[in-house]
Chain A
Amino acid sequence: MFTGLPSFRSVARCPAGGLLLLALPVAATAATVEGTFTFTKLTPSVALVYLPEDTGALPQEVAISHKNKAFTPRLAVGAPGSAVLFRNEDTAQYNIFAEDKELKISFDAGISEPGSSVEQKVTWPEGTVLRCGCKVHPAMEVYIAALRSRFVATVEFAPGQKTASFSIPDVPTGATLVRVWTPRQPATDLKATPSAILDFTHKGATYGSVAVTIKP
């Protein structure tokens, strides 16, 4: 467990192939987690990287918009208790819902009219990820991770994209445990001392990997 850290949250987001760094306050003694996902096939829609030992994040409002039959972002993060606000920024109607027997989550927002919003609390367990969709636009999906960690990178892959880099700045010096999650396989912990590689496999064949390094 990390202690004595400032209560900020550094989120590096990589939408549609570009690297975008947001909200990067500087810690006194800090390292940076850097890494790259590489896929030869079966590229996931999103990927999540975080330091699971940190628990400093507080509940907050998480905004997710839907427009043109897609959610933005496609991977969101909120500490348990956070309020997720789904905003319909389209001229069309939607019906946001989630149905996850394992997480025991079932909600149906009903018809979401243009310009309207619906709120859903993050009530699923810390460290788990809920998939939400739309009942009439089945290709739409957004993953919402319940995390107390303040050190998180979210990656969103565009169609056809094979690689994406990420960075989590200002992590505590000495941190080595990194957790990686994609929709296709469960969260996996890596010990980055200072580097580690995780292969993604399907039916015994490797289809991608992520290389992680913690730089002082």
Chain B
Amino acid sequence: MHLRHILIIFTLASCWSTVSGVDLAEARKRLGTPDPATIPWPDGVPPSQALVDLGRTLFFDRRLSAKQNQSCASCHNPELGLSDGLALGIGTNGNRVGRNAPHLYNLAWSTVLYWDGRMTNMDEQATKPIQSKSQMAMDLGELEARLRGVAAYRTAFHSIFGDPAAPADGSAITRERLGQAIAAFERTLVSRDSAFDRHLAGAKDALMPEAVRGLDLFLGKANCIACHSGPNFTDDSFHNIGVKSADAGRAAIVPGALAQNAFRTPGLRNIALTAPYMHDGSIPTLEAVVRFYARGGDAPTPDTLVRKIDLSEGDIRDLIAFLSALSDPLRIPIPAVP
């Protein structure tokens, strides 16, 4: 074969697999479908169905807020992408919460919690918004008493945690177990059957051509994969992406130059359902998010990952198409609260 022909074939092959010098096949390996077998359960043991069911009921129970006017599901609403559709949430007293309510999809794998990562233990975290003055503003001692007054909770906690020989008198209801139950339910909120997952599994017609091009941009020129990596599209790390904000973010927990104004990378599963975006809910749509990154953010940042990206209008459309292909809305049965 003539050398020139060989070079042309080689060049074509290179174009096929790389964008901006990125090996797309290699980059794809940094994504995936989450495997429930890898969930890091507390003490290494999956919860019982009874505990999950109890947690689900508590999650939807408005008794958990001081004024009994909102439940966990008020800010993590299954119909609103397990968020609330608001830039900043609303507390039991009608006040604004300081940050955007994050979605809860695939939180079971998360190694850090909250926008600033101030907690790592879901069982312990689950009761914090209940106590938070700006959120549910409920004293846990009062809540224990409130729940002990409900026969169905006395029975449920006793059957899961209590001594079978003892009466179901409500003594099995404790704040720690409340947290365990809610977190057990939250760990079941696993999204893993999106169009993208079917594409990964080999379904040739799973993704629209726009989404396929969007995936290549995600891995290549736009370099979203630098932070939104892994089966849940998050590196569980903190980045200052250049949102104009006075919020110190991670630096309030761990002071440091890179931590200043840095926030936890949100997972992107069901991201099309969870608008508005960013820690302060300041960006209303996915289109606006992509344009924000394309212009290199709105505020100076020391993070060198954030820089202008030359995206055409078609590129922007394709990225949105790909991000929307990560949707797998969960059907979450709303329990009858006792």
Contacts and interface: CB of A to CB of B under 8 A. Distances in A.
A110 B302 CA distance: 12
A186 interface: no
B42 to A, nearest CB: 10
A93 B304 contact: yes
Contact of B303 (A41, A93, A137, A203): A93
B236 A136 contact: no
A139 B43 contact: no
Contacts of A41: 43-45
Contacts of B43: 41-42, 202-203, 205
Contacts of B259: 95, 135-136
Query: Size class of A's contact patch?
Result: 20 to 34
Contacts of B144: none
B332 interface: no
Interface in B273-288: none
Contacts of A137: 235, 237-238
A41 B42 CA distance: 10
Interface in A44-99: 69, 92-95, 97
B256 A139 contact: no
A138 B44 contact: no
Interface residues of B, number: 25
A207 B44 contact: yes
B103 interface: no
Please report whether the interface of chain A is mostly helix, strand, loop or mixed according to DSSP: loop
A160 B37 CA distance: 9
Contacts of A92: 226, 304-305
Q: Looking at A95, A108, A135, A202, which has the most chain B CB atoms within 10 Å of its CB? A: A135
Q: Looking at A69, A202, A207, which has the most chain B CB atoms within 10 Å of its CB? A: A69
A136 B38 contact: no
A71 to B, nearest CB: 14
B111 interface: yes
A105 interface: no
A40 B120 CA distance: 23
Q: Looking at A110, A138, A202, A203, which has the most chain B CB atoms within 10 Å of its CB? A: A138
Please report whether the interface of chain B is mostly helix, strand, loop or mixed according to DSSP: loop
B38 A108 contact: no
Contacts of B34: none
A159 interface: yes
A93 B304 CA distance: 7
A159 B256 contact: no
Nearest to A109: B256
A203 B54 CA distance: 23
Interface string B41-54: 00111000000000
A196 to B, nearest CB: 25
A159 B237 contact: no
Contact of B250 (A69, A111, A136, A203): A136
B258 A135 contact: yes
B112 interface: yes
B262 interface: yes
Contacts of B148: none
Nearest to A114: B304
Contact of B111 (A110, A139, A203, A205): A139
A139 B257 contact: no
Contacts of B252: none
Contacts of A205: 43
A93 B240 CA distance: 12
B117 interface: yes
Nearest to B226: A92
A64 B257 CA distance: 22
B303 A97 contact: no
A29 to B, nearest CB: 43
B297 to A, nearest CB: 15
A108 B236 CA distance: 21
A108 B254 CA distance: 10
B237 A108 contact: no
Interface string A148-175: 0000000000011000000000000000
B239 interface: yes
Given A42-B43, A111-B302, A159-B38, A136 B226 contact: no
A93 B302 contact: yes
Contacts of B112: 138-139
Contacts of B235: 69, 137
23 contacts: A41-B43, A69-B235, A69-B237, A92-B305, A93-B305, A95-B256, A95-B257, A95-B258, A95-B259, A110-B256, A110-B257, A111-B258, A135-B238, A135-B254, A135-B258, A135-B259, A136-B258, A137-B235, A137-B237, A138-B111, A138-B120, A138-B238, A139-B236
Interface of A: 40-42, 69, 92-95, 97, 108, 110-111, 135-139, 159-160, 202-203, 205, 207
